[in-house]
Structure 1
Amino acid sequence: MAAPLTSISRRTAVLVLVAWILLAVGLAVTVHKNDADADDGAKLYLPDSRPSQAAQQRLREVFPGQCSYSTALVVLHSDDGIDLGQLIGPDGAVARLVGWIRDPVELPDTVSAHRADQVRRALRDAPVRSTATDLQLIHQLTARRDDGVVTSALVAVGMPDIFTARRTQAVVKALRGHLEAMQADGTLGRLQFDITGDAGFYLDYNDATAQSVERSTVVTVVLVMVILLAVYRSPVAVLVPLATLAAAVHVAMRTLYALAPLGLQADPAIEMLVVVILFGSGTDYCLFIIARYKEAAAAGGTLGEAMASALRGTGAAILASALTTMAGLSLMCLAEFRAFQKAGPSIAVALGVGCLASMTLAPALYLLAGRLLFWPARGGPAARSLTGGLWQRLAAAVTRRPMAATVLVLAILAAPSAASFTAATSYNIFDELSGGWSSVRGFEILRRDFSPGTMGPLTVLVRAPDGKGNLLDDAAAWSAMGRLADRLAADPMVENVFWPGQPLGLNTVRYPTPADLARSGLILRAVRANYYTDDRTAAKMTVLLREGPYADASIDAAGRLRHVAELAAADPEAPLETAIAGPSATLADIRDTSRRDFVVVTAAVLIAVYLILLVVLRRPVLGLFLIGGTVLSFTAALGAADWVFVRWLGETGLDWKVRFFLLVILVAVGVDYNIYVCTRIAQERRRLPLDEAVRVALERTGGIVSACGLIVAGTFASMIAGNLSLMIQLGFALAVGILVDTFLVRPLLVPAIALMLARADERRRPRGAADGDESAPSV
């Protein structure tokens, strides 16, 4: 596949460089980030068949003006306190904000022109609850203060799409811009504001991710420069990979922007992973090429011939490495969680661009640089090894005592690997941001002044069987709803239940029958408007939990309450159809889905990698051991991350996405080094005795592979420079996993196991087979 480049000349190099310049400029002009801004409100992260998503869809159908996919919670607050009447009265800040939401004639400058009409429609149609009008919220707020002075107020604005949708983020930006204007003109007085809820959180999350991308990119570039300078001592040898990979990242991201409508992902989090993976793997590819190029140039001949030789010697290995990694990442498409479905193939496409750049643009730049590539190193272009003596001693030790090397590695990794099986997991989105962000501050104020469950209550949809029957006037159905409310309230995690018979919640007036409610006047009208559909065939209940919606206890409770609600279908007097929606219910489904995805994708990736090893090495048993070594690197890295972030730093748990990305990336990336070592052993085995072949292979691969491992680990570690908990944890775990694979599994465990298996093969080999017989086992 590398044949077109085996006869590369300076003229061809110029053409390749011009082609890349035209491609980069063309994509910059024709493809923009906004091209990836397709609103995906209907494309939820979970399959539509999941109970929480089906419930959400039914709620939106039967209560079209009252239910939303996500919520922005505007928290107005003052540490000094403010009179309740001034805060929520007809001329108060809450009323003015709600008035603007209902008629947003003027929008802040932060709203782009092409989004203006969408934002106005979304605001006008948004379900709005506030402490000025909502009886539940007023009751919660005033119940906590008895002096008429409060410190906060709440305006909940429903969104027409999920919180990740571009239109949702545009609406939140409009809210923030208008509140800043109210603050500037004195309308808010002493009040401060924060925007939280899932919609507010994601706006902060995107900003934090963008900052993290910038920091990680700077750290990655600096780190790669330092390592390359240490290895080659040549500024040109450093600049070529950096220029190549900068172009690759640009082209890759523009390609993802263009393909986003087809299902690929191009958000800031994916951009960060693209940067670190391309700079890590791409630098490795460039290192392999320049190492062979220098060897060939030192042997004599023209630089064009040397580059042809380098590409012949490395092209197949680089392609095999890239395709193996791309295959592993692409198998994430088997996940049901749609963010995983998109992320893996997106990174695989970007890696393909990086591989193409490394095999075309980098050789062209190397060739055009001429002898400057080797300046100022003395003694010609021969590559120097900084750690040759170390690898010679290590190779000798492994070949002398392979069992001891195996036991040593297993002993070192046993404790962190064991810790991985009890590693805590967090599904709380607010654990991903520090306390300095607006959404986190707002969340903490809500927990102080309101019920924590206010941030994301559960909504129980209740329907008459087959959609027939009047739930408001039917006494039997009324009693059945009361029994359901009582069963829901019996759960220890439930703080309050609001339903038509107790519209102000538990421990308030309860209307035993529909007739009692009918005599309540204003309460009856409020119940009809807020709890029932127009035809009275469906009703809803609101359940507040004692913890925030993202706490593990709340997620567990959502599963229990779903089971309780399902029992209403068996009510002997009036069976009811039920469904539960809300953040905790969604997270319960995400937890179940992610566990399923981890098992399915892990099995698929391991089987795929094993088949690749089987094709390349033709040694089934050795392939199993190599897979086991990579899994050992994964468990050790996960356990180390749990030690650092949970047990030492006191975080709630590792982000639930860390485990998934860690395994897929480590297996996909780590298998390359194992293939490289084992194939080199097989090559040396054709001309050397077994022990000598292992020793020579380890000596000759140690330096380059350790340098590559350091670069990849360093690029992953650059993610720690960001401010997102997910990326910090994942970057740390990936760096640890790569270092374990580079300095323990690959140089000690893999050669030791290969040597012991080969010795066992030799003992079973028929007498008379020569050591160098190519039909004999090579490893």
Structure 2
Amino acid sequence: MNLDFWRRLACRRPGWVVSGWFVVAIAVGLFAPNLTQLAAEGQAKLLGRDSESLKVAQVVAKVWPDQGYESMAVVGFHRPGGLTESDREYASQMAKQFAAPTRPNEILRVLGPDSQPEVADRLLSRDRSLELVAVPMRSAFVAPVTQEAVAWLQTTAVGPTLSAPSGLEILWSGDAVLGRDYMASVQTSLDRAALVTVFLLFAVLLAVYRSVWLALVPLATIGLSLVITRGILAWMTQLGWEISPLVELFLVAILFGTGTDFCLFVSWRFGEHFNPDNPAGAMQATLERSSLALLTSAGTVIVGLSLMGTTHFKLFSSTGPSVAIGLVLTLMATLTLTPALLVLLAGLRPRSFRGLTAPASGIWEKLGRMALSRPLLSWSLALLFMAPLALLSLRADFVQDLMTELPRETRSAQCLRLIAEKFEPGMMAPLTVVLESDADFRSSEGLALIDDVSRFLTLQRRLVEVRSATQPLGRTETLARARLASRLGEVNEGFVRMASGAGELRKGLIEGAAKIRAALWLEQKTGLKLMNEASTASSLGGVNPAPSNAGNLLAQGFRQASAAFVGSSSWSALKPAADPVRTPPSPAGTPKPEPPRQSMLRDLSRAADGAAQIEEGAERAHREVSSILANPVGRRALDRLLIDAQTLRDNPDLGKSLAAYITKSGHRARIDLVQADRVFSAGAMDQVQSLRQRLNDYLSEVDGMKVKATIGGANAESADIRALTRSDQIQSWFVVPIGVFLVLLVALRDPLACLNLVATMILTYMFALGATHLVFVSLLGAEGLDWKVPYFLFVLLVAVGVDYNVFLMDRVREESRRLGLRAGIIQAIAKTGGLISSAAAITACSFASFLSSPLGSLRQLGFALVVGITLDAVLVRPILVPCGHWLLSRVRWPRPLDPTQRATVGSVGQFVHVSD
């Protein structure tokens, strides 16, 4: 069955066609799953599997299940003058209720006043006016199950067993609560968009058709198409098709906007061929002459939206193709259901078509003549008008911040701002750094690396806390004694004690030797036996040094002391021959053995000399080490951690931190970071990208270990989304225009005309983006345009906006063959002016429904689309495109026309010779 079969069926059997569409729509509406709920679940799965933040989340959930979470609900207990004991007791009771065994499966744990002291202290503000109870959850912040868990928490908080103290303010926030409010705003946007779109479209259709019954034809066509599309997408989603909540919103806007344009085009051409005596024949002629233009127009939109599927960010890749499926069904309905309804209406109420068959006012023909009278000037003035705002779009600022997208009066956003004031702004969304290596992080080398990375991160600006295995509380003081500087400081103290002890030893040895020598001198002078060998040893503390090297050094020391005792100024003054107790040599030349006391004196002198050297060496070492420790460069060089078995024995708590931050295998380690910027802010995302680059550069220079670092967390996920969407947008800047150009080329077979159409739509996009930046940022004071606006605006204006110009160019080609280039362009403007303006008004009204959304992103996008579509209708389509087409085609256009063709021109022929 080809297209002609469906044309004949719609024209000859309209009742069957209408009945068939209604039966299918009713059946799908009754039995299809709930697309809204399925789309909400898809919102939580926007990043691909290759994203770094998603990989980190999976690793943390697997190897640190007691630390991993996807989102968090936070309950704050605030009293401006300071919390009372009853306030804190109430917070503790609520935390216990949340941790009940009957809690939802999505709630992983509850952190509150009764948690470990180091955790509980972090949940109390510095001024003690705000205490938090944190509830980590296992699902994403926009997932329906997360919203159900938040609802359970709030229901539990107002249960009969809990009674809040008077004057205590309860705050609900966290990304889980923000996600609930965001999804509620999306649903509100969808509901408002549906109502506003239908109301505005019906009003515009009444003004265009001047008939209630005729205005209902497009609404019925699009309504049935929307019901069937929703059901088909719901079934496809259950089979694995990816979808997001924005799909429903864009289905309503684009199907009611573009789809109504399709219906309007068919109705308008049907009015040109209207024959109340043979409506079926008139409709068949209409479809034969308009099907190509309709297919081309729809094809550009469908291809442009389908090309969004080539992107990687699922919010884009799932929205475009899903809406394209809806447009395919809408096109089928426009080629079958709309003709059938029009034929039935023409037979029942032919006077409904009086508005379509009325003669044109001539305004558009006058505008066309004026523009084509001086086409280069008209084209230049149009460009000059659009240039300033188009150039402004190149300097537009974009933000990706859920806080700025939500209405400022949103309670969860207000609570988060208060929490950010009382605590560190990034406390609610910490980053997680996962280190992976083949080596063991539990080894001394591995722990030293963790410490080095931790301290490297501590030096980064806008990071307020770094927690790791070597600084589990975010402070380095915990393991201060295990650092090389501290250990070397203790060695330095040992040198001081060694020098002091060696000095005391030297002093004692010298004094002892001097006493012995004095006693020997008195014995020699008086002849009295003052001491024996045993008393000599006893006077030295019972030490009987052996004749070793150390003993020799000790003896040298004692000789030096003896020399000082007798007043000798040098070691050379003390000669062995001068020793008064030296035994003369034995007869027969055999040396007589040295008396034991003399040998002991010599050994003690050497020991004293050795003690002096020890004292000197210890003092020199003390000076060197003190110099190193006192120098900033030396302190930094020695600020390294050295943990061994003894350190673990001395610090039992260190084993707990190792277990909390390092896996059992030792090949993965975790570092938690608290940023100074709040969650979802541009500064937080910028820092994630900076940290990733700096960490990889730092770890690439580590010797002996190959380590890889990845970063996850809420802000890391936002940074991944931003990077992905920027890449997708750059890709779309090339892919979408090329795809639309190829579709136009197949239909129009005129490369320059196709290039003119695509270029003007890109210029329209830049103008609309610049105008939106001027209004929302420059005038209304927004931080920037929402990050989704440029992408959706580009695709929709280039793909959807081109279809108006397809209607124009199709008529230009038709009229130019008959009248010549200039006259044909003027006649095409006159014939399509009312149609395209009405279609633009319909599309603009459908997108204007976005302005009723509570979300800032949709309001900005709606404004930009209305500006772009309006500009296209009043300036681009009647002036810029026709004048550009004339400037590009006049050289190639055949001239002059033969007399037969001129004769058929009639009254319009006066313009032919001007162009030819």
Instruction: Provide TM-score, normalisation by structure 1.
Output: 0.88
**Pairing 1:636-647 to 2, within 5 Å after superposition:** 636-647=767-778
Measured after TM superposition, the shift of residue 143 of structure 1 is 5.8
**Pairing 1:729-748 to 2, within 5 Å after superposition:** 729-748=860-879
- Counterpart of 1:469 (choices 395, 415, 440) is 440
| Distance across 1 between alignment mates of 2:120 and 2:465 | 14
Preserved CA contact (<8 Å) 1:658 1:729: yes
Residues 449-505 of structure 1: CA deviation (Å, up to 9, x unaligned):
211111211111134x31x4252xx33322222221121122212111122332222
2:676 equivalent to 1:546? yes
Measured after TM superposition, the shift of residue 582 of structure 1 is 1.3
2:336 equivalent to 1:360? yes
**Pairing 1:550-561 to 2, within 5 Å after superposition:** 550-561=680-691
Match of 2:851 in 1: 720
| Distance across 2 between alignment mates of 1:441 and 1:688 | 66
Preserved CA contact (<8 Å) 1:294 1:383: yes
2:146 equivalent to 1:168? yes
2:419 equivalent to 1:450? no
CA gap of 1:210–1:241, structure 2 versus 1, over 3 A, is same
2:219 equivalent to 1:246? no
| Distance across 1 between alignment mates of 2:92 and 2:223 | 49
Preserved CA contact (<8 Å) 1:216 1:722: yes
Q: Secondary structure at the match of 2:129?
A: strand
| Distance across 2 between alignment mates of 1:707 and 1:411 | 26
2:34 equivalent to 1:50? no
- Counterpart of 1:430 (choices 394, 403, 407) is 403
| Distance across 2 between alignment mates of 1:93 and 1:221 | 48
Q: How many residues matched? A: 742
**Pairing 1:249-264 to 2, within 5 Å after superposition:** 249-264=226-241
Measured after TM superposition, the shift of residue 192 of structure 1 is 4.5
Higher-Rg structure is 2
Measured after TM superposition, the shift of residue 520 of structure 1 is 4.8
CA gap of 1:770–1:564, structure 2 versus 1, over 3 A, is farther
| Distance across 2 between alignment mates of 1:6 and 1:38 | 36
| Distance across 1 between alignment mates of 2:236 and 2:884 | 44
| Distance across 1 between alignment mates of 2:209 and 2:849 | 22
Measured after TM superposition, the shift of residue 267 of structure 1 is 4.3
Match of 2:471 in 1: 502
| Distance across 1 between alignment mates of 2:364 and 2:40 | 54
Preserved CA contact (<8 Å) 2:75 2:170: yes
Match of 2:803 in 1: 672
- Counterpart of 1:101 (choices 99, 102, 122) is 99
- Counterpart of 2:106 (choices 98, 101, 122) is 122
Q: Secondary structure at the match of 1:760?
A: coil
- Counterpart of 1:406 (choices 374, 379, 401) is 379
| Distance across 1 between alignment mates of 2:332 and 2:683 | 48
Residues 5-43 of structure 1: CA deviation (Å, up to 9, x unaligned):
433578722222221222122112211216963997998
Match of 2:519 in 1: none
| Distance across 2 between alignment mates of 1:393 and 1:767 | 25
Percent of aligned positions that are identical: 30
Measured after TM superposition, the shift of residue 82 of structure 1 is 5.4
Preserved CA contact (<8 Å) 2:276 2:347: no
| Distance across 1 between alignment mates of 2:776 and 2:319 | 25
Letter in 2 for 1:326: I
Q: Secondary structure at the match of 2:163?
A: coil
Match of 1:483 in 2: 452
Q: Secondary structure at the match of 2:709?
A: strand
Letter in 2 for 1:177: T
Preserved CA contact (<8 Å) 2:256 2:846: yes
Residues 247-278 of structure 1: CA deviation (Å, up to 9, x unaligned):
22222212211111344455442211111111
CA gap of 1:772–1:193, structure 2 versus 1, over 3 A, is farther
Match of 1:179 in 2: 157
CA gap of 1:42–1:13, structure 2 versus 1, over 3 A, is closer
- Counterpart of 2:282 (choices 306, 315, 318) is 306
Match of 2:729 in 1: 598
Residues 596-642 of structure 1: CA deviation (Å, up to 9, x unaligned):
11122221111111112222222222322221101001111111111
2:34 equivalent to 1:7? no
| Distance across 1 between alignment mates of 2:105 and 2:422 | 31
Give the stretch that moved more between structures: 92-101 or 70-79. 92-101
Residues 501-530 of structure 1: CA deviation (Å, up to 9, x unaligned):
322224864545346575455x44652453
Match of 2:72 in 1: 72
Match of 1:698 in 2: 829
Letter in 1 for 2:690: R
Residues 295-327 of structure 1: CA deviation (Å, up to 9, x unaligned):
323x45322223323333333322322222111
| Distance across 2 between alignment mates of 1:381 and 1:5 | 27
Q: Secondary structure at the match of 1:488?
A: helix
Q: Secondary structure at the match of 2:403?
A: helix
CA gap of 1:497–1:406, structure 2 versus 1, over 3 A, is same
CA gap of 1:197–1:263, structure 2 versus 1, over 3 A, is farther
- Counterpart of 1:133 (choices 115, 123, 126) is 115
- Counterpart of 1:681 (choices 812, 815, 829) is 812
Match of 1:110 in 2: none
2:432 equivalent to 1:459? yes
Q: Structure 2 regions of 5+ residues with no counterpart?
A: 483-642, 903-914
| Distance across 1 between alignment mates of 2:223 and 2:235 | 19
| Distance across 1 between alignment mates of 2:334 and 2:171 | 46
Q: Secondary structure at the match of 2:137?
A: strand
Preserved CA contact (<8 Å) 2:93 2:162: no
**Pairing 1:18-57 to 2, within 5 Å after superposition:** 18-33=19-34, 37=38, 44-57=45-58
CA gap of 1:410–1:34, structure 2 versus 1, over 3 A, is closer
| Distance across 2 between alignment mates of 1:189 and 1:540 | 42
Match of 2:324 in 1: 348
Measured after TM superposition, the shift of residue 359 of structure 1 is 2.5
Measured after TM superposition, the shift of residue 99 of structure 1 is 4.6
Measured after TM superposition, the shift of residue 752 of structure 1 is 0.2
- Counterpart of 2:301 (choices 325, 335, 338) is 325
Match of 2:516 in 1: none
**Pairing 1:626-665 to 2, within 5 Å after superposition:** 626-665=757-796
Give the stretch that moved more between structures: 23-32 or 41-50. 41-50
Match of 2:392 in 1: 419
CA gap of 1:402–1:191, structure 2 versus 1, over 3 A, is same
| Distance across 2 between alignment mates of 1:39 and 1:713 | 27
Letter in 1 for 2:772: A
Measured after TM superposition, the shift of residue 343 of structure 1 is 0.8
Preserved CA contact (<8 Å) 1:630 1:670: yes
| Distance across 2 between alignment mates of 1:355 and 1:289 | 11
CA gap of 1:189–1:335, structure 2 versus 1, over 3 A, is farther
Q: Secondary structure at the match of 2:132?
A: strand
Match of 2:270 in 1: 293
Residues 562-601 of structure 1: CA deviation (Å, up to 9, x unaligned):
1232223532365543221112222222222112111222
Q: Secondary structure at the match of 2:890?
A: helix
Letter in 2 for 1:173: A
Letter in 2 for 1:227: V
Q: Secondary structure at the match of 1:687?
A: helix
Measured after TM superposition, the shift of residue 67 of structure 1 is 0.9
Instruction: Provide TM-score, normalisation by structure 2.
Output: 0.76
Match of 1:269 in 2: 246
Q: Secondary structure at the match of 2:8?
A: coil
Measured after TM superposition, the shift of residue 699 of structure 1 is 0.8
Q: Structure 1 regions of 5+ residues with no counterpart?
A: 106-119
Preserved CA contact (<8 Å) 2:280 2:343: yes
Preserved CA contact (<8 Å) 1:279 1:715: yes
Match of 1:758 in 2: 889
